[in-house]
Structure 1
Amino acid sequence: MIKDEYCLVWEDSFDREGMPDPEKWNCVVSGGGFGNHELQFYTAEPENVCVEGGKLRITARKQERDGHAYTSAKLTTAGKADWQYGKVQVRAKLPKGKGSWPAIWMMPNDCRGDADWPLCGEIDIMEHVGWDQNRVHATIHSGLYNHRRKTQRSSSVVLEDVSGVFHDYELEWTPEAMRFRYDGAEIACFYREEPGFETGKTGWPFDKPFYLILNVAVGGDWGGEVEAEALPFTMEVESVRVSQKKV
């Protein structure tokens, strides 16, 4: 085995019907806006999250729950699987409609919400907002570089029909850099040692394990005005794979 060759360490190909594998995924049950004034309440109900026909389906619906006008789902691997460096590859088809805000992203184990964010770091492998159809974004956040300061390190690209066909969203994360590839083409590379950027923990807190998150938010600071007649919003995920280099 070549030392630098990547080896598969974790995957879900969604080959079971019903709810996602509880040994791999947590279903968040919560609301409150999540720091972005989002409108959904996350549930673990089958109408919001299920596996059907080899695909994970996360669906936001016009449905009142605990004072929220919408329901949806958020899955995480927190406490079950996390990784420091490697490749994360997710094959997904995104929802369509103004107000949808799907994301494939990562957070560290030591983050306790707003008390630690953004110093703890955040890796957004893919984000999309329905009012800007077909444009997808890759972003990293840190104490110095984040959307609250409008200094986030980010890149975006327009793909063909993100809501009609599946696309591959990939992060390759090493101690030196983060490379983002969509359908195999690199759309961004953020280097740890890059002129003009701070390399300490406030600028690069990406030297610790992060876990994976899949969700569909509704509205909020970036999701914007909701086109209610466009709901339900569904993100389908065909596979998730994590690979790391053999030590």
Structure 2
Amino acid sequence: MKKFKALSFMAAIALLAGTASCGNNNSETQSKKTPETTTSAPEVVDVPELDGYSLLWNDEFSGDALDESKWNYEPHEPGWTNEELQEYTTSTDNVFLRDGKLVIKAIKSDKNGKDYYTSGKVTGQNKTDFTYGKVVVSAKVPEGQGLWPAIWMMPKDESFYGQWPKCGEIDIMEVLGNDVRTAYGTIHFGEPHGEVQGTYGLTSGSYADSFHEYSVEWEPGEIRWYIDGELYHSANDWFTAEKGGDEKPYPAPFNQPFFVQMNLAVGGTWPGNPDATTDFDKAEFEIDYVRVYQKPEYDTNVKKPEKVYRQALEDGNFIFNGDFSEAEDLTDDVNWKFLLFNGGEGSAEIKDNMIIIKSEAEGTEDYSVQLVQPDLPMIKGKKYRATFNAYADEERDIVVCVSAPSAGWIRYLQDTKLTVTPEKQTFTYDFEMKEKDDNNGRLEFNLGHRGSTATVYISNVRVEEIK
């Protein structure tokens, strides 16, 4: 692979100043002088050249201390956000360089007789901000209940479009320590809160076993996520607005300078809290390098894509392959998809006009074992009916709902627990769509965390509009 010498940071800033596509108030970043905080000059590292891109800035973490011309420590008290437990500190116990890598370490200690956690967060705000580009990060995550490593981006000026989520957020990578085979890439935006999320699951090994390369290509009108060079998710439909106001011109809010940040959270509303199995001796988030590339120019004359709504089949059913007559691929994003998260183990097979879901481990969440069909058109003011047949090898509970993965995971059909038995039953649920139109409603069957791993059989699934 052809390579070139990495630019010095100041040379990269000069490149940024000359790039027409990044004229969004970067003068403050360009005029900042490099603080003399790094104790020694890092060695020069060969960085791969990417076709069509120039290297904007990078950090190979080859020095002996965090380069504070590129990064800030961001201290916070426990509970600052997401009910997380850690205190983010400026201590070199929590953030340090070792063997050419940045290490963010979570530490468990005791304070006033109670467990106390510290960790680290570093940000590039006001130092390495940029508008549009490709971010490439090589990292290895820690494994353990309650650990939550993240590589993500926030706007330099969070108030420009309004506080979160109106300002926008780009999550390059998040992995939960209790499910280190699954990585998430997400954007948050809007008022009301919207999000678009993709996942990439490993069929062997885990993200904690070795370093993986996580990258995002951020362009006007589209954001794409990759892991180890493989595209797994893209987004082009977002918005932002003040509550009750008109939407800002697209592609707001993702048309302003953002910065990269990295942290290791402990606990919180998503991963849950640590437990006796969490080994804090190994609670280290390691980053080998961060590289940001940019094209010479970007076409900012983009239009928001028109929403395309699925049309019902001839019999009025919005569920495709609802009779399970086709033995389709259950791992792709077409029609039915079978998913495992957070300790869930199992398999699904289409056979004899039904889907057979076998669970080996129920996991820690309702969605740990999950069957879904997305792209359901949900129109405000319309009424819908969901029906299906189901039975199980032995009596057990499952949960059904229609969710909104692009609208903050609200529910159009609320989470509904039902009991399936060895006798086939027909289940029917009516609901009215009361939210704004959504072309991405999602029917979910959740079989995790219900106290049973009994096999479930589902057939004749329908979602249809009713008067």
TM range (shorter): 0.7 to 0.9
Residue aligning to 1:154: 197
Q: Show the 5 A alignment for 1:82-121.
A: 82-111=129-158, 116-121=163-168
Deviations 1:155-214 (A, max 9, x none): 11113320010000000000020000000011101014xxxx658449841010101110
C-alpha change, 1:142 and 1:68, in structure 2 (3 Å) is farther
Pick the aligned partner of 2:210 from 157, 165, 174.
165
Pick the aligned partner of 2:89 from 26, 33, 43.
43
Residue aligning to 1:62: 108
Distance 1:158 1:133 in 2: 9
Deviations 1:15-67 (A, max 9, x none): 102x3111111011222423200000011112111001100000001025799
Match status 1:15 vs 2:62: yes
Give the conservation status (yes or no) of the 8 Å contact 1:41–1:65. Answer: no
Distance 2:121 2:99 in 1: 20
Distance 2:285 2:58 in 1: 18
Residue aligning to 2:460: none
- Count of aligned pairs between the two proteins: 234
Query: What is the TM-score when the length of structure 2 is the normalising length?
Result: 0.47
Give the conservation status (yes or no) of the 8 Å contact 2:187–2:197. Answer: yes
Higher relative contact order (CA 8 A, sep 6+): 1
Give the conservation status (yes or no) of the 8 Å contact 1:39–1:68. Answer: no
Residue aligning to 2:23: none
Residue aligning to 2:128: 81
For residue 256 of structure 2, give the secondary structure of its aligned residue in structure 1: coil
The code of the aligned residue for 1:110 comes to D
Distance 2:249 2:263 in 1: 27
Residue aligning to 2:172: 125
The code of the aligned residue for 1:239 comes to Y
Query: What is the TM-score when the length of structure 1 is the normalising length?
Result: 0.88
For residue 110 of structure 1, give the secondary structure of its aligned residue in structure 2: coil
Residue aligning to 1:211: 259
The code of the aligned residue for 1:63 comes to S
Moved more, 164-173 or 31-40: 31-40
For residue 134 of structure 1, give the secondary structure of its aligned residue in structure 2: strand
C-alpha change, 1:39 and 1:88, in structure 2 (3 Å) is same
Pick the aligned partner of 1:176 from 221, 227, 232.
221
Larger Rg belongs to: 2
For residue 235 of structure 1, give the secondary structure of its aligned residue in structure 2: strand
Give the conservation status (yes or no) of the 8 Å contact 1:96–1:163. Answer: yes
For residue 269 of structure 2, give the secondary structure of its aligned residue in structure 1: helix
For residue 21 of structure 1, give the secondary structure of its aligned residue in structure 2: coil
Q: CA deviation at 1:225?
A: 2.4
Moved more, 57-66 or 31-40: 57-66
C-alpha change, 1:156 and 1:144, in structure 2 (3 Å) is farther
Distance 1:142 1:65 in 2: 37
Distance 1:117 1:82 in 2: 18
Distance 1:152 1:42 in 2: 26
Distance 1:91 1:207 in 2: 25
Distance 1:165 1:123 in 2: 24
Residue aligning to 2:280: 231
Pick the aligned partner of 1:246 from 271, 296, 309.
296
Distance 1:68 1:215 in 2: 20
Give the conservation status (yes or no) of the 8 Å contact 1:99–1:226. Answer: yes
Distance 1:202 1:68 in 2: 47
For residue 178 of structure 2, give the secondary structure of its aligned residue in structure 1: helix
For residue 109 of structure 2, give the secondary structure of its aligned residue in structure 1: strand
C-alpha change, 1:191 and 1:53, in structure 2 (3 Å) is same
Give the conservation status (yes or no) of the 8 Å contact 1:128–1:136. Answer: yes
Give me the CA root mean square deviation.
2.3
Moved more, 101-110 or 153-162: 153-162
The code of the aligned residue for 2:273 comes to E
For residue 155 of structure 1, give the secondary structure of its aligned residue in structure 2: strand
For residue 152 of structure 1, give the secondary structure of its aligned residue in structure 2: strand
Residue aligning to 1:27: 73
C-alpha change, 1:7 and 1:68, in structure 2 (3 Å) is farther
Give the conservation status (yes or no) of the 8 Å contact 1:89–1:241. Answer: yes
Give the conservation status (yes or no) of the 8 Å contact 1:119–1:202. Answer: no
C-alpha change, 1:130 and 1:173, in structure 2 (3 Å) is same
Distance 2:189 2:115 in 1: 30
User: Which structure 1 segments of 5+ residues have no match?
Assistant: none
Query: Once the two structures are aligned, what percentage of the paired residues are identical?
Result: 42
Distance 2:275 2:74 in 1: 25
Match status 1:188 vs 2:233: yes
